Chains A and B, each alone.
Chain A
Amino acid sequence: AQSVAQPEDQVNVAEGNPLTVKCTYSVSGNPYLFWYVQYPNRGLQFLLKYITGDNLVKGSYGFEAEFNKSQTSFHLKKPSALVSDSALYFCAVRDRRTGRRALTFGSGTRLQVQP
């Protein structure tokens, strides 16, 4: 089975400070990992993905994520937060070994960036 944990319901950060949103995963094989963002009353939007190769993945809007196989983590980061980054963030995983097409999502982390 594949699963994702986002241990923080909410992360608060001041504008201009670095931010981290945490994600850990569990799969039987190797993972495909994704981050999505959701703004109010909208569907999820794709931010970035890890397939293979470099452990640091860069995505949209200045976000990046670091894949750590030994810790089974895929934390989302940004060097300098903006108020407009305030949204709900979801981590998701797909297990390569099972070939299961559908993603499993975490419960989401609300990011609040204070001016």
Chain B
Amino acid sequence: NAGVTQTPKFQVLKTGQSMTLQCAQDMNHNSMYWYRQDPGMGLRLIYYSASEGTTDKGEVPNGYNVSRLNKREFSLRLESAAPSQTSVYFCASSEEQGEWSPLHFGNGTRLTVT
């Protein structure tokens, strides 16, 4: 019963490098999300995908791109990493039906940009 799986768990990048954070869910959920968590700021939404083939910007999309590869997978790409992107990144998913559907989170990717 995997739920939401994120890879990698940890990553260190140099400024300017690129990388893709992977996320997959096995709950047949339609909606998927990327959040970042910073101390004292809670979780802030980067991008979300209400269904396969659609993506929308959240509160803090600058410096990121996303791809909803299929219903299961939603990846987050940093094209040119900056120290301000040092954070813990969480992927989440939810059922489409009902805006009250709770989110199911992965265990996060801890990213450090030097």
**Cβ contact within 8 Å between B99 and A96:** yes
**Cβ contact within 8 Å between A32 and B43:** no
Taking chain B's interface residues, is the majority helix, strand, or loop, or is none over half, making it mixed?
Answer: strand
**Cβ contact within 8 Å between A43 and B100:** no
CB-defined contacts of B106 to chain A, threshold 8 Å: 43
CB-defined contacts of A32 to chain B, threshold 8 Å: 99-100
Residue positions of B touching A, CB distance < 8 A? 4, 31, 33, 35, 40-45, 48, 50, 58, 90, 92, 99-100, 102-108
Residue positions of A touching B, CB distance < 8 A? 4, 6, 9, 32, 34, 36, 41-46, 49, 51, 90, 94, 96, 99, 101-108
Add 6 more A-B contacts to A32-B99, A44-B92, A106-B42 (CB < 8 A). Answer: A4-B42, A43-B92, A44-B103, A44-B105, A90-B43, A102-B48
Q: What CA separation (Å) do A43 and B106 show in the bound complex?
A: 5
Give 10 closest A-B pairs by Cβ, nearest first: A43-B105, A46-B102, A107-B42, A105-B43, A105-B42, A51-B100, A44-B105, A32-B100, A102-B45, A43-B107
Q: How many Å from the CB of B98 to the closest CB on chain A?
A: 8
**Cβ contact within 8 Å between B48 and A101:** yes
**Cβ contact within 8 Å between A49 and B43:** no
13 contacts between A and B (CB under 8 A): A34-B102, A41-B107, A42-B108, A43-B106, A46-B104, A49-B100, A51-B100, A96-B99, A105-B42, A105-B43, A107-B40, A107-B41, A108-B40
CB-defined contacts of A36 to chain B, threshold 8 Å: 103
Q: What CA separation (Å) do A42 and B106 show in the bound complex?
A: 8
CB-defined contacts of B48 to chain A, threshold 8 Å: 101-102
CB-defined contacts of B45 to chain A, threshold 8 Å: 102-104
Q: What CA separation (Å) do A90 and B48 show in the bound complex?
A: 19
**Cβ contact within 8 Å between A46 and B31:** no
Q: What CA separation (Å) do A99 and B100 show in the bound complex?
A: 11
Q: How many Å from the CB of B100 to the closest CB on chain A?
A: 5
